[in-house]
Amino acid sequence: MVDESIVVSVHDHPRRWLRQFSARLIALALIVCLFALLLQLVLTILISPLFLGTAVFTLILTIPLLLQTVLHPEITVLDSGLRLRPQLWREDTIHWRMISSIAEHPLIYQDPVIERRLHGKNFRLRQGCVIILCEDATVSPLFRLVGGIAGSGLHPAFAISSTTHRDYERLLQLLEEHGFTTPVP
């Protein structure tokens, strides 16, 4: 099936090299975790069942890594919907009707004093929101992890923010043009 949608705008990461570098680091960390998990399972069988506990712990530690790969995908706005490009996985295209709601970003913490010290005159409060999809949206199952931290249960979701997407204000404007209410920063 060929997607013949018209591209309206592209909202990629402002620092492409940083996104690629972090994607490679995450991929390396996931490979190391997988290798450690397999080794711990072998040690569970050969040496002691106590290694099963470390294997479970290693498995739990991979959850933030998997979450990071889908939390802030690069977004291409199409006339028919959104194309999401996570750090490591395949692209997903969602139609406008698959978007359920937009919620406040739970991971953005504002501390104006520290931010002003770090960024000086260029200080600008960070903004962000989580786009929650319908439960039957055809996206990677990893997007359900984001929905879990956003408080939407098993609904898939992804986040957008002013620090991870170019032209964030335009992206919000396009969402509002399609009838979605965005949270006030």
More confident residue, 7 or 92: 92
126 located within any domain: yes
Q: Quick one: 118 and 167 in the same domain?
A: yes
3 located within any domain: no
Q: Quick one: 62 and 96 in the same domain?
A: no
Q: Residue 2: what pLDDT?
A: 40
What letter does residue 98 receive in the DSSP assignment? G
Report the number of distinct structural domains present in the chain: 2
Tens of pLDDT, residues 33-53: 999 999 999 999 999 888 999
pTM as predicted: 0.81
Q: Quick one: 29 and 83 in the same domain?
A: no
Q: Quick one: 86 and 172 in the same domain?
A: yes
Q: How far apart are CA 139 and CA 121, in angstroms?
A: 40
More confident residue, 164 or 123: 164
Over range 11-17, report the average pLDDT. 88
Q: What domain range includes position 26? A: 17-68
Per-chain mean pLDDT for the chain = 84
Q: Quick one: 133 and 106 in the same domain?
A: yes
155 located within any domain: yes
Q: Quick one: 81 and 170 in the same domain?
A: yes
Q: Residue 175: what pLDDT?
A: 85
Q: Quick one: 63 and 118 in the same domain?
A: no
Band (1; pLDDT cuts 50, 70, 90): very low
Taking the alpha carbons at both ends of the chain, their separation in whole angstroms is 39
